[in-house]
Amino acid sequence: MNLQKNDKAASLNIERFQALSDGDPASLVELIQLYRSKTSEQMQELQTAIRATACEEVARVAHSMVGANAMVGMDSLLPALRQLEELGERKMIGPAEKIFQELSKEYDRIQRALASYLPNEDGK
């Protein structure tokens, strides 16, 4: 597997995934699949919490996502997640939907880029 592919997202830190998988291609695929699955679930939880104006849940899910995304080097998601966490903590989630939309766009971009490292996926 060629891991020097032209990333579709400049902020995609595939080297971090490679380090976490000890350079093992099968482990890399498993880690990417786990990241995509778990993060997609959390994005859904976050969207649901925002729509329900569940401030504490917004803060909790965003906080969890900050840690997970920082660990795998998805730094481009961190500013929006930190904003959502703060808004939830301050119980002021009025602007949260707009921030979530931007977060979703960036996450979709990362998803497409990561897909190019998975078997039978062309990144589209």
pLDDT computed for residue 39 by the predictor: 97
In the chain, what percentage of residues exceed pLDDT 90?
A: 80
Question: How far does CA 19 lie from the centroid of its chain?
Answer: 18
Q: CB–CB of 23/80 below 8 Å?
A: no
Burial 80-96, CB ≥16 within 10 A → b, else e: bbebbbebbbeeebeeb
pLDDT computed for residue 8 by the predictor: 43
pTM attached to this predicted model:
0.85
Lowest mean pLDDT among 30-34, 52-56, 69-73, 120-124: 120-124
Residue, of 84 and 1, whose pLDDT is higher = 84
pLDDT computed for residue 4 by the predictor: 37
pLDDT computed for residue 9 by the predictor: 42
pLDDT computed for residue 94 by the predictor: 93
DSSP per-residue codes, the chain: -------SSTT--HHHHHHHTTT-HHHHHHHHHHHHHHHHHHHHHHHHHHHTT-HHHHHHHHHHHHHHHHHTT-GGGHHHHHHHHHHHHTT--TTHHHHHHHHHHHHHHHHHHHHTTSTT----
The total of other beta-carbon atoms located within 10 Å of residue 121's CB is: 12
Average pLDDT, the chain: 89
| Structural domains of the chain sorted by starting position, each given as residue range(s) with its CATH number in brackets | 25-115 (1.20.120.160)
Q: Could you read off the pLDDT of 71-94 as tens digits, one per residue? A: 999 999 999 999 999 999 999 999
What's the number of CA atoms in the CB half-sphere (13 Å) around residue 19?
7
Q: Could you read off the pLDDT of 8-37 as tens digits, one per residue? A: 444 678 889 999 999 899 999 999 999 999
CA dist., res. 24 & res. 30, Å (int): 10
